[in-house]
Structure 1
Amino acid sequence: MPYDSAATRARLLDAAYQEFSERGLAGARVDRIAAAARANKQAIYAYFGSKENLFDAVLADRLGVLADAVPYTPDDLPGYAGALFDALNATPELLRLTAWRGLERADATPGEIESHLAKARELRVALRLPDEPTAIDVLEIVVAISVAWVNVPAGLKVVGGLDPEARRRAHRAVVVAAVTAIRDALAGPPAE
């Protein structure tokens, strides 16, 4: 069977995703990643250069998958928040990965910064917000609201006697309503 470079790289990314989301960058071990990917450690260094670069590649890959699954729609901010809520609740390991990123590496890459600024610029236009910092704040709040359910303590997820799935659906409805209220409260006057 011929060697398939793309398949090996993909297996390394998948194995690293599991390892990093479970253990973070500091706790992850290259030998475990290589074993799970059915590759050797040298392949990690050949493809990615370092464990840190592998972590960055995994994060970029998974955020790309998320962006494809949940297109950014500043003209429908409540719909975007609901779709983001659904996607993130279906993949809690992605939130763990981003949490590890925040805990272990506070720096943001130029690509991350530009991506967020581009989204904020689109949001500023869509909602006719007064300035870019306000748009950035709104974007941060929408994302925080959308991810809150994953971080809610288990005891709060069953408050009110609802079964967990009914409680999750109710929380999602509140996410969409809250983002709708934010949008409506902050949207500037219509363009003339």
Structure 2
Amino acid sequence: MAWDTEATKQKLLNAAIDEFAERGFAGARIQEIAKKSGCNRERIYFYFDNKIGLFEAALVQQLVTALDDVPVRGTGPEAVADFAGRYFDFSTTRTALARLTVWEGLERGYPVGAEQRALRSTGKVAEIQNALPSATMREAEDLLLTIVTLCNAWVSTPNIHLVLTGAPDLQRRRASIVRTSELLAQDTV
């Protein structure tokens, strides 16, 4: 029977995403990732070279998934607001990306996989510009940055909302992000 390389890589990535999201880069253990994936740890080094390569692959896969799975649909500020709401839903149901980017910022000091991530982000900026034809590239970039950071902050900084608003209210936060995004998008029209 032939070895399924892609399936093995995906098992390793899935285990790595969970481990890195939970423990960060420094706290994650290669042995634990191998154990959780059911794969030999040598496969990690074979496919990803080292722990840094595995972390980069995990983060890039999460970003690509987020940007590809949540398109901007329609036109006008309402389309951007709708995107923000759906991105919030994605962020709160699939928390690994927000957690991985926080760990990246705290522990790595530079963006891993920056070139590939920038290409995906450029595509999303273009989608925002298509929805808001009068928006400049800078305005579309700022909108995307604001939406992503607002949505990811809910996941990556859970204690802040506990202090500021008491018990977490997911629907209230979602509505606030949607409204904020729509108002910001109206400023570009």
For the aligned pair, the TM-score class normalised by the smaller chain equals 0.7 to 0.9
Give the TM-score taking structure 2 as reference length.
0.82
How far does residue 102 in structure 1 lie from its aligned partner after superposition?
2.1
TM-score normalised by L of structure 1: 0.81
Q: Per-residue deviation at 1:145?
A: 2.5
CA drift at 1:158:
5.7
Moved over 6 A (4+): none
- Residue by residue over 1:81-115, the C-alpha shift from the partner in whole angstroms, topping out at 9 and shown as x without a partner, is 00011111112232111111222241352122222
Determine whether 1:85 maps to 2:84.
Answer: no
Q: Secondary structure at the match of 2:117?
A: helix
Q: Structure 1 unaligned segments of length 5 or more: list them.
A: 188-192
- Per-residue CA deviation, residues 143-179 of structure 1 (Å, 9 max, x unaligned), is 22333332342525864xxx74xx2112211211111
Question: Secondary structure at 1:43's aligned position in 2?
Answer: helix
* Higher RCO structure (Cα 8 Å, ≥6 apart): 2
Aligned to 2:111: 107
For 2:55, the equivalent position in structure 1 comes to: 55
* Identity in percent: 32
Q: In structure 1, the residue corresponding to 2:186 is in which secondary structure?
A: helix
Aligned equivalents of 1:10 and 1:125: distance in 2? 33
Q: Deviations over 1:21-62 (max 9, x none)?
A: 112222222111111112222111111111111111111222
Unaligned runs of at least 5 residues, structure 2: none
Paired position in structure 1 for 2:175:
173
Relative to 1, partners in 2 of residues 1:131 and 1:4: Cα closer, same or farther, differing over 3 Å?
closer
Q: How big is the shift at 1:128?
A: 3.2
User: Is the radius of gyration larger for structure 1 or structure 2?
Assistant: 1
Pairwise CA RMSD: 2.4
Q: What is the CA–CA distance in structure 2 between the aligned matches of 1:65 and 1:120, rounded to whole Å?
A: 16
Q: Which residue of 2 aligns with 1:116?
A: 121
**Structure 1 match to 2:23:** 23
